[in-house]
Structure 1
Amino acid sequence: MTDRFLDLLRLRPLWIAGRFLTRLPFPDPGCVTPAEAGWAVPWYPFVGLLLGGLIALVAWTLGSTDPSVAAALTLLLWVWSTGGLHLDGLADSADAWVGGLASRERTLEIMKDPRSGPAAVTAIALVLIAKWAGLAALIAHGESWLLLWIPLLARTQLPLLLLTTPYARKRGMASDQVNQLPRRAAWMAGVLVLAGCPLSLGWIGGLTGVLMGLALVLGSLLILLLARRSMLARIAGFTGDTAGALVEITETLLLLATALLAIPF
């Protein structure tokens, strides 16, 4: 057990997680074994933290420009930095949920189809519009620093989903992560983020910050609960596409909630 924990502390799992989830210049880990793919999962939240820091920094830097333009540029960076990975999962999941007609086999089959239908295009458009609006609101009111926590909480959903939900396919993109997942380390990563978010916001913003942090944590857990329930009812588990959709939905809803909570009426 000690050797496995030391493996986690080495940075190679972080490089694997970073290269998988983003386009950011993480070192190339080379060939990745199934065990290493599993050990990368507890690092997913940390990758989200780095991504959130980059997005918040860019939004703050552009804060003196027109909020709409600043939001558009920030959103472009946001999408580019993830390589559209989670948007692809959202698109496939939207098509599958609409076209699957409550059939597990048909839903899984549609998610394998690389083509995008009307549901996919609509879902992506709505998510990007909502993110742009949330970004513009936060930038206009000087609250760009709150963007730090949104990608962090969204990527914390991934280890929590893998810990609590069966994989819906025999083999697939996430099968190695599920089979080789270090459960204790993944739980520790998830609990650390969920507890640390209110505490860190409280340190910055006092009681108001604590309450906002609690709202964001509870909101992310509610999204996970509802998404997990839908996945189990439709396909008896999750896939890489539905995991990506969960990240996008979490980011979008938390961004809008943050804008509503942080900006006085």
Structure 2
Amino acid sequence: MIDGFLVALGFLTRIPVPSRVFADPAGRARSLAWYPMVGALIGMLLFAMAWLLPQGRPLLSAAVLLCAWVFLTGALHLDGLADSADAWVGGMGDRARTLEIMKDPRSGPAGVTVVVLVLLLKFAAMASLSQWSLLWLAPLVARMSLTMAFLCTPYVRSGGMGSGLADAPRAACAAMLCAGAACCVLTGWFGVIALACSGIVFVLWRRACMRRLGGITGDTAGALTEINEAVVLIAISLMS
């Protein structure tokens, strides 16, 4: 059980874990259920940092927190966002070409532009957030949508980083239900709105991926996470 958590933690963050856990296929399969917990951990670490930062300087605090957020996750999902943007624009509606562009490690103008815009939206939303205690909602809900994506969407790359993650669906579903309940119980309507916004983003992005690719890849999953975080941050900032 603990190996699944360590795999999820090591994959989704830069927090060091024993390398042996990645060699266990069972731990990899169980890791999907721990994605929401890792999202909650990221959120609580960001909240703790926000609490330590000087009050009354929202722009500075938002900039520091955003840098910490990117460092903590290793820009993993930002890379997927950039690759997805380049592939969606350059693929011209063609599935094979879209998948080919995603393999290119270089980032084109579309990828760079989208990453900058998403980071700008996150920065502005955090600078406008009046309650730092709500910050944990964004990474948690975004990784809930990541779990859902692997559970209910075909993975189109055989042997890719996301293959085999949905081999323990019951545990993953239970984890999502617990995480969703925690959001609503602990934050009330903020949690409800965050889940609703995340659900809308998930449905729209899944539909786009199914139409273009017939499923998801690791890059499109990363893009889903980043877009979800930005939308949830904007929603709770407007509410607060």
TM-score norm. by structure 1 comes to 0.87
Q: How far does residue 31 in structure 1 lie from its aligned partner after superposition?
A: 4.3
**Alpha-carbon displacement from aligned partner over 1:42-73 (angstroms, at most 9, x marks no partner):** 00100000000011111222142521111111
Q: Distance in 1 between matches of 2:16 and 2:157?
A: 31
Determine the structure 2 residue equivalent to 1:96. 87
Indicate yes or no: 2:70 matched with 1:79: yes
Q: Distance in 1 between matches of 2:217 and 2:54?
A: 38
User: How many correspondences in the alignment?
Assistant: 240
Q: Distance in 2 between matches of 1:26 and 1:172?
A: 21
Determine the structure 2 residue equivalent to 1:155. 143
Structure 1: runs of 5 or more not aligned: 1-9, 202-209
Indicate yes or no: 2:32 matched with 1:41: yes
Indicate yes or no: 2:225 matched with 1:247: yes
Indicate yes or no: 2:165 matched with 1:177: yes
TM-score norm. by structure 2 comes to 0.96
Indicate yes or no: 2:190 matched with 1:199: no
Q: Distance in 2 between matches of 1:104 and 1:120?
A: 18
Determine the structure 1 residue equivalent to 2:238. 260
Q: Distance in 2 between matches of 1:233 and 1:215?
A: 27
Q: How far does residue 87 in structure 1 lie from its aligned partner after superposition?
A: 0.2
Indicate yes or no: 2:130 matched with 1:130: no
Distance 1:221 1:45, change over 3 A: same
Conserved 8 A contact 2:7-2:22: no
**Alpha-carbon displacement from aligned partner over 1:13-54 (angstroms, at most 9, x marks no partner):** 111110000012444444422332111110010000000001
Structure 2: runs of 5 or more not aligned: none
Aligned pair partner of 2:211 in 233, 239, 256: 233
Conserved 8 A contact 1:34-1:177: no
Indicate yes or no: 2:160 matched with 1:189: no
Q: Distance in 2 between matches of 1:71 and 1:213?
A: 21
Question: Secondary structure of the equivalent of 1:175?
Answer: coil
2:228 maps to amino acid: T
Q: Distance in 1 between matches of 2:62 and 2:186?
A: 25
Q: How far does residue 172 in structure 1 lie from its aligned partner after superposition?
A: 1.2
Q: How far does residue 199 in structure 1 lie from its aligned partner after superposition?
A: 1.4
Indicate yes or no: 2:198 matched with 1:220: yes
Written as runs of structure 1 = structure 2, the 5 A alignment for 1:13-28 is: 13-28=4-19
Q: How far does residue 222 in structure 1 lie from its aligned partner after superposition?
A: 1.0
Q: Distance in 1 between matches of 2:179 and 2:21?
A: 29
Q: Distance in 2 between matches of 1:165 and 1:227?
A: 11
Name which one, 1 or 2, has greater alpha-carbon Rg. 1
Identity, % of aligned pairs?
46
Q: Distance in 2 between matches of 1:260 and 1:131?
A: 13
